[in-house]
Amino acid sequence: MMRRKVYFIQPTYRDKFGKLLKGKSLYTMSLVLQALHSTVPHDWEVQLCNEYFEDIDFDTDASVIGISSMGYEIYRGIEIADEFRRRGKKVMFGGMQAHMSSDFALPHCDTVVHGNPGRTAMRQILDDFEKGEVQREYHCGVDLNYQIDYSTLNAKRLLFTPVITSVGCNYRCDYCCIAALYKGVCRVRKLRHVFAELEYLHGKTHRIAFMDTNIHSRHNYLRALCEGMLSRKFRFVWGAQATIDIGDDPETLRIMRKAGCKALFIGLESFTQANLENVNKAQSVKSYGRRIENIHRAGIKIAAFLMYGFDHDTKETAAELSELVTRHNIALPMINLLVPLPGTPLYTRLKSENRLMIKDEHDFLKNNIGYNSSFNLCLYKPLQMTADEAEAGFIDLLGRLSGYASVVRRSLCPDPRLSVFFLYSNWLFRREYLRLKKMRERRFAHSVQQAAECVT
Q: Which residues of 80-98 are buried (b: 16+ CB within 10 A; e: fewer)?
A: bbeebeeeebbbbbbbbbb
Residues 6+ apart with CB under 8 A from 390: 308, 309, 313, 337, 378, 382
Q: What is the pLDDT along the chain (456 residues), one digit of tens a residue?
A: 789 999 999 999 887 678 888 999 988 999 999 999 999 999 999 999 999 999 999 999 999 999 998 877 888 999 999 999 999 999 999 998 888 888 889 999 999 999 999 999 999 999 999 999 999 999 998 999 999 999 999 988 999 999 999 999 999 999 998 898 888 899 999 999 999 999 999 989 999 999 999 999 999 999 999 999 999 999 999 999 999 999 999 999 999 999 999 999 999 999 999 999 999 999 999 999 999 999 999 999 999 999 999 999 999 999 999 999 999 999 999 999 998 888 899 999 999 999 999 877 766 666 555 545 568 889 899 999 999 999 999 999 999 999 999 999 999 988 888 899 999 999 999 999 998 899 888 876 766 666 666 666
Q: What share of the chain is helix, strand, coil (3-state, %, to 5)?
A: 45, 20, 40
Q: DSSP string covering 380-407, please?
A: B--SSS-HHHHHHHHHHHHHHT-SHHHH
CA distance 100 to 114: 9
pLDDT for the residue 239: 97
Task: Spell out the domains of the chain, with CATH numbers in brackets.
Answer: 5-142 (3.40.50.2300), 160-441 (3.80.30.20)
Q: Which residues of 164-199 are buried (b: 16+ CB within 10 A; e: fewer)?
A: bbbbbbbbbbbbbbbbbbbeeebbbbeeebbbebbe
Q: What is the pLDDT of residues 253-293, one digit of tens each?
A: 999 999 999 999 999 999 999 999 999 999 999 999 999 99
Nearest CA among 171, 146, 261, 161 for reference residue 204 = 161
**SS3 assignment, position 421:** helix
346 with 340: CB under 8 angstroms?
yes
Note the pLDDT of residue 449. 66
Q: Which pTM does this prediction carry?
A: 0.92
Q: Are 393 and 318 in contact (CB under 8 A)?
A: yes
Number of Cβ within 10 Å of residue 422's Cβ equals 23
Positive/negative CA dihedral, 284, 285, 289, 294 = positive
Give dist(CA 86, CA 172) in Å, integer: 41
Say how far apart CA 341 and CA 365 lie, in whole Å. Answer: 8
Residue 239 β-bridge partners = 209, 263
Closest alpha carbon to 158 in 104, 242, 238: 238
Contacts of 174 (CB under 8 A, 6+ apart): 279, 280, 281, 344, 345, 346, 349
Query: 337: which DSSP letter?
Result: E
